[in-house]
């Protein structure tokens, strides 16, 4: 019969555990105090189990438990992931991967000092916006531009600077909620702007805006539907009409585009996604969009438009609270240079994925299938990330048969590198469209390791 006091005496001390070679290595990685706290947790659990009638665990078992608790701390909370889901802009996986030179530019600026807010010619304080604005004007055709930390912040800043205490008119069908519970009415309320909804969910006309304008109106707001589509009996006012009305009435037409598309998606067999340049050319006073969606850069909220509006945003107190840092700025500048040079679809990962020919995907899928004893089947990829809602692209999938595909998928997610795949009709499927070509060997190794574990 197990006796509690005798079993408790069999437990080692914290110091005895820490002297074990495996935990000595962990202390080099995490520090003595952190590993000691984990050892105390494990010993406390063992004492509770003994009090409930269990025997004392072995020394090896205790060491294993401490090491298991420490493992995710050593790896860190963020780890690289191979995206085999076929969702190009996967919000949960960090959205757009950076182009190699954008990543290199960010690393270069992160490792030392820079002229972020210093004018090297004048030897005095400068502005961080000057590094970016010229590129934004060249790429979009706008008079001026700046960037903040995400598109939600961009919209909040624009409304706060241009419409606080006044009204912004928006179509009822565009008062939307997107991922993470982000709601347009909530942002407008936070900015101090009064929301005026016009039209109906599915049909809004120019006359609805015209009839709603009062002396309190400051902004005519257009919001991209982002992650859903209303089809059938519908009508919405285009940015050209809305901008013209705003100009006639002395108001600002604010176009929240979201996805930040600078290339014509029709050339890739997809539906048309509203482009930033089109909105600017149509006369929108302010255009907001994300940096890490179809732009293919880092997380940022990019704002372009007419200079007198941009200057008002730049002077607003909120602008400092939501400004981007030097690392993001460096990556964003490098990303925009690809559009300036006209090589974005060959160099920016999201566009490389979208533009990859089906034949190329079939060849890669064939190589992966041969290495993993799988089969190539037809499938569909999606753009994702609140861009081109409902649009998919033909792809070729690698299907792997397994007696427990969900368990295999879980082991892949826990591997290093982690792999996120799909389970479809009892098979684990990998979509090479969203796997970077240089990751193919790592993907093969990860799947083999997961099968053997």
Question: What is the model's pLDDT at position 22?
Answer: 87
Within 10 Å of residue 422's Cβ, how many Cβ atoms?
A: 17
Spatial CB neighbours of 43, under 8 Å, sequence gap ≥ 6: 11, 12, 14, 17, 62
> Residue 412: is the preceding peptide bond cis (ω within 30°)?
no
Question: What is the model's pLDDT at position 128?
Answer: 87
Strand locations in 87-150 (E): 87-89, 118-119, 124-125, 144-148
Question: What is the model's pLDDT at position 3?
Answer: 54
Question: What is the model's pLDDT at position 234?
Answer: 72
Please give the Cα distance from 105 to 330 (Å, whole number).
6
Question: What is the model's pLDDT at position 177?
Answer: 62
Give backbone dihedrals phi and psi of 428, rounded to 5 degrees, phi first.
-85, 130
CATH 3.40.640.10 fits 98-343, yes or no: yes
Question: What is the model's pLDDT at position 1?
Answer: 43
Q: How far is CA 420 from CA 144, 332, 355, 453, in A?
A: 40, 27, 22, 17
CATH 3.40.640.10 domain position(s) in the chain: 98-343
CATH 3.90.1150.180 domain position(s) in the chain: 81-91+350-452
167-171 and 194-198 beta bridge pairing: parallel
Q: Which CATH number fits domain 81-91+350-452: 3.90.1150.180, 3.30.465.10, 3.40.50.720, 3.90.79.10?
A: 3.90.1150.180
Q: What is the mean pLDDT of each run of 10 residues along the chain (453 residues)?
A: 72 91 90 94 93 89 92 84 96 95 96 93 90 96 97 94 94 70 74 88 88 96 72 79 96 93 94 94 97 96 98 96 96 98 96 96 97 96 81 94 94 94 95 96 97 87
Question: What is the model's pLDDT at position 235?
Answer: 81
Mean pLDDT score of the chain, rounded to an integer? Answer: 91
Question: What is the model's pLDDT at position 180?
Answer: 58
Contact between 417 and 81 (Cβ < 8 Å): yes
265-300, pLDDT tens digit by residue?
A: 999 999 889 999 999 999 999 999 999 999 999 999
Contact between 334 and 105 (Cβ < 8 Å): yes
């Amino acid at each position: 019969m197990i006796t509690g006091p005798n079993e408790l005496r069999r437990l080692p001390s914290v110091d005895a555990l820490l002297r074990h070679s495996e935990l000595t290595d962990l202390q080099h990685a995490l520090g003595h105090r952190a590993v000691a706290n984990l050892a105390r947790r494990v010993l406390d659990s063992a004492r509770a189990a003994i009090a409930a009638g269990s025997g004392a665990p072995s020394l090896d078992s205790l060491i294993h438990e401490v090491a298991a608790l420490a493992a995710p701390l050593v790896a860190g909370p963020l780890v690289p992931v191979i995206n085999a889901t076929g969702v190009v802009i996967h919000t949960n996986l960090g959205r757009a991967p950076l182009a190699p030179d954008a990543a290199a530019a960010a690393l270069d600026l992160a490792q030392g000092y820079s002229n972020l807010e210093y004018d090297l010619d004048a030897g005095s304080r400068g502005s961080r916006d000057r590094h970016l604005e010229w590129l934004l004007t060249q790429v979009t055709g706008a008079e001026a531009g700046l960037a903040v930390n995400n598109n939600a912040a961009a919209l909040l800043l624009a409304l706060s600077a241009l419409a606080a205490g006044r009204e912004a008119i928006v179509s009822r069908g565009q008062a939307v909620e997107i991922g993470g519970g982000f709601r347009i009415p909530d942002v407008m309320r936070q900015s101090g702007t009064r929301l005026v909804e016009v039209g109906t969910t599915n049909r809004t006309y120019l006359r609805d805006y015209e009839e709603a304008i009062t002396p309190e109106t400051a902004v005519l707001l257009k919001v991209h539907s982002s992650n859903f589509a209303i089809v059938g009996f519908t009508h919405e006012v285009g940015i050209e009409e809305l901008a013209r009305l705003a100009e006639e009435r002395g108001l600002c037409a604010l176009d929240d585009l979201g996805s930040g598309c600078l290339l014509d998606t029709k050339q890739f067999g997809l539906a048309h996604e509203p482009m930033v340049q089109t909105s600017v050319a149509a006369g929108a006073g302010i255009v907001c969009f994300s940096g890490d969606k179809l732009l293919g850069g880092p997380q940022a909220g990019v704002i372009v438009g007419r200079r007198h509006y941009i200057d008002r945003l730049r002077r607003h107190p909120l602008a400092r609270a939501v400004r981007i840092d030097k690392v993001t700025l460096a990556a964003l500048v490098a990303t925009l240079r690809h559009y300036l040079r006209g090589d974005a679809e060959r160099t920016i990962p999201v566009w490389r994925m979208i533009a990859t020919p089906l034949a190329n995907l079939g060849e890669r899928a064939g190589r992966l299938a041969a290495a993993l004893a799988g089969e190539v089947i037809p499938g569909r990829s999606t753009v994702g990330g609140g861009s081109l809602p409902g649009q998919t692209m033909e792809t070729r999938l690698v299907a792997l048969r397994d007696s427990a595909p969900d368990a295999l998928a879980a082991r892949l997610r826990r591997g290093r590198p982690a792999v996120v795949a799909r389970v479809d009709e009892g098979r684990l499927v990998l979509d090479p469209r969203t796997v970077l070509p240089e990751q193919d060997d790592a993907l093969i190794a990860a799947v083999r390791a997961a099968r053997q574990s």
